Structure 1
Amino acid sequence: MLIWLLIFGMLAITFLIRYSFFAWPNLRFPRLAEQGLHYVPVAVLTAIVVPGMLMPEGQWALRWDNAYLLAGLLAILIAALSRNLLATIAGGLLGFFLLRWAFGQLPL
């Protein structure tokens, strides 16, 4: 029963937040709040990706043979230099698979 209550509570909160933009279309945020909201996607993506880079097996893996960490750092470098999403994704994936191959971690 508690789980269903939590699910319906989250449903109601999500609905009200999204419906508010239709109910009050002229609602404007202060400039400082708008500037802060620009960082939300970066913060959410970071919170999703970084634990996978630092703890790929569920434990800290700050080692030289952690392909996840090295490929992630490579992708960050490519993104900073190129500012190109496709180059970042392609370079990160290519680097990841090449590192896994070089470290003998690919299941063949």
Structure 2
Amino acid sequence: MATSYADPLVWGVILVIGVLTFAIRLSFIGLFGYLDEIPPRLERPLRYVPAAVLAALVLPAFVTLEASGLAADKLVAGGLAALVAWRTENVFATMAAGMGTLWLVRFLVLPAL
């Protein structure tokens, strides 16, 4: 992808973003290095960080549009996988249900339509 920005500007932005990311991560290491115990007011919201990060990484794969329209096969498989994860809390069962449903819908149901 071409850009109208000069190369030094692009590399400068990349460098600044890298330094800021490193500083944010280092600040948490430094902060928790001085604390003997994480305060409950901070620990409570930190519990939701893994789920939020996972949702931010996975959700765009389900809601993006493809050339032929909405990716219905991914939505069906993701919905069933979410249901299995909620009911069983078993990672293997979730992956098996999601991938099995995706393959069934993609290779058996959609070609028949």
Which category of TM-score, normalised to the shorter sequence, fits these structures? Answer: 0.7 to 0.9
Closer, same or farther in 2 for the Cα pair 1:7/1:36, shift >3 Å? same
Separation in 1, partners of 2:68, 2:11: 33
Picking from 36, 39, 45, the partner of 1:36 is: 45
Cα RMSD of the aligned pairs, angstroms, is: 2.5
- Where in structure 2 are there 5+ consecutive unaligned residues? 1-7
Counterpart in 1 of 2:110? 103
SS at the partner of 1:90? helix
Closer, same or farther in 2 for the Cα pair 1:3/1:59, shift >3 Å? farther
**What code does the residue aligned with 1:3 have?**
V
What count of residue pairs does the alignment treat as equivalent?
Answer: 102
Counterpart in 2 of 1:15? 22
Q: Which is helix-richer, 1 or 2?
A: 2
Counterpart in 2 of 1:72? 78
Percent identity of paired positions between Structure 1 and Structure 2: 35
Closer, same or farther in 2 for the Cα pair 1:40/1:60, shift >3 Å? farther
* Structure 1 segments (4+ residues) deviating >6 Å: none
Separation in 1, partners of 2:93, 2:21: 35
Separation in 1, partners of 2:38, 2:69: 40
Closer, same or farther in 2 for the Cα pair 1:87/1:7, shift >3 Å? same
TM-score calculated relative to the size of structure 1? 0.77
- Where in structure 1 are there 5+ consecutive unaligned residues? none
**What code does the residue aligned with 2:33 have?**
P
SS at the partner of 2:111? coil
Closer, same or farther in 2 for the Cα pair 1:24/1:75, shift >3 Å? closer
Q: CA deviation at 1:58?
A: 6.8
